Structure 1
Amino acid sequence: MKPCTVIIQLLLLFSSTAKLTHAQTPYIDSMQAWRNNYVNTHELLKTPEERSLLRFYPLDAAYKVECTFEKVSNSPWLPMPTSGTVTKMARKYGVLSFRLHDTVMHLVVFQMQQLLAKEGTKDYLFVGFTDATSALDTYGAGRYIDCTTADIHGDRMTLDFNKAYNPYCAYTTGYNCPIPPRENDLPVAILAGEKNYGKKVH
């Protein structure tokens, strides 16, 4: 291969990489701002020392996935186990389907009866999951992603695992945190979102 041809190919490669990096920067910047806000306004961890023990995976745009959404109609209210003594009532609201790491996966979206009963939270939905990192790098009982009915657009919904966070039970005892059901155990490692808290729970 001629030297000039090699140089041209390298220039094209660097140009493509630069465009990709530039395209990802606004998203990464916005997610870093979201993460900073999550840390600085954490409702349970109040002191700088406590918040300094929060751990996260590096931000990765590959974990922002576009899903198809299938509504579940007339789903009955059923008890969902929690980490405490109180069982919470929930029903299936829909099913998300998406591809990640060349694997097609599904997550059930739940509606919580307690949240539905309150004006300020009636549109909230519950997406909890476990994956191959659970009980290793991440909290064993699972992580959550916040979403609302407004995030669903027809049969589409964006799910961002960079926003996966720990329930209060990952930091201390005394809370009744819903435990994601087995059907929301993902068969891959989700290397995004919050990791295990850096302080042991007593």
Structure 2
Amino acid sequence: MLKNRFFLTGLFLLALIVLYYTFFDGGNITSSAGLDESINPETYRQQVDVQRKEKDHFLQTDAESPVPNKSSFKGLVYFKPDPAYRVVARLEPFADKTQKLVVRMSDGSEEVYDKFAHAVFSLNGEACRLLIVKLQNTYSILFRDATSGKETYGGGRYLELDPAKLTDNHVILDFNGAYNPYCAYNPTYACPIPPAENTLTIPVKAGEKYKEHQ
């Protein structure tokens, strides 16, 4: 059975870099959190829409696409881009850098990830804490929230982080980039299941929604 690690890692990280230099003042660090959050909301929404169109094109045309019937694929469904779901999180690294997490896969197998840090942040007025894991050179958050199994995929969604932005003790989490695993499109793939601690009680109405047979 095929296993997907994470979806479109290279494309996603490239998009993060583009967004960073589009919206940040030449890379200057100006905010109290050590990150410049000043963005133009309308420009931001336009950039997110462009990324989503590029992803649809990949799913419709690329040989690596998990979509089994590309001719009937009409595109993904999303929440509208919302800068409010782009937040600064404080990183709480593990003192013991050798800590591991055994992650259960959707096919019953297991994979071992490195525990990197906890991301602590506020979203919609609620205090949140999510575990960041590392697999090879990919840093990710596997999470569920109050939309899981309703508006979004029941198996949870993923958020990938740019390693270059993890060198300080803060990081930007942009939930507009939250996406479904391959197994949401095709059951022949096995996907990592979010750990229980990464379940948010609030709805994260950002990123990719889920529509069966989309």
TM-score (norm 2): 0.73
2:44 aligned partner, one-letter code: Y
Q: 1:93 aligns with which of 97, 109, 116?
A: 116
Task: Report the aligned-residue RMSD.
Answer: 1.8
Aligned CA distance change for structure 1 residues 140 and 40 (closer, same or farther; 3 Å): same
Write out per-residue CA displacement over residues 160-201 of structure 1, whole angstroms, 9 at most, x where no aligned residue: 11111100111121222110111110110000111113418x
1:34 equivalenced with 2:56 (yes/no): no
Indicate the SS of the match to 2:107.
coil
Cross-structure match for 2:129 = 106
1: CA distance, partners of 2:183 / 2:95? 31
User: Size of the alignment, in residue pairs?
Assistant: 169
Find the counterpart in structure 1 of residue 139 from structure 2.
Answer: 125
If you compute each CA radius of gyration, which structure gives the higher value, 1 or 2?
A: 1
- The whole-number CA distance in structure 1 between the counterparts of 2:118 and 2:102 is 18
CA displacement, residues 92-113 of structure 1 (integer Å, 9 cap, x when unaligned): 100111111111101100012x
Residue in 1 that maps onto 2:186: 172
Say which of 201, 204, 209 aligns to 1:187.
Answer: 201
- Determine the C-alpha separation between the residues in 2 that align with 1:78 and 1:143: 18
Equivalent residue number for residue 142 of structure 1: 156
Q: Looking at secondary structure, tell me which structure has more helix per residue.
A: 1
Regions of 4+ moved over 3 Å: none
Counterpart contact for 1:170–1:197, Cα < 8 Å: no
Equivalent pairs: percent with the same residue?
30
Which runs of 5 or more structure 2 residues have no equivalent in the other structure?
1-38, 60-64
TM-score, normalisation: structure 1: 0.78
> 1:5 aligns to what?
none
Please tell me whether residue 67 in structure 1 is matched to residue 89 in structure 2.
Answer: yes
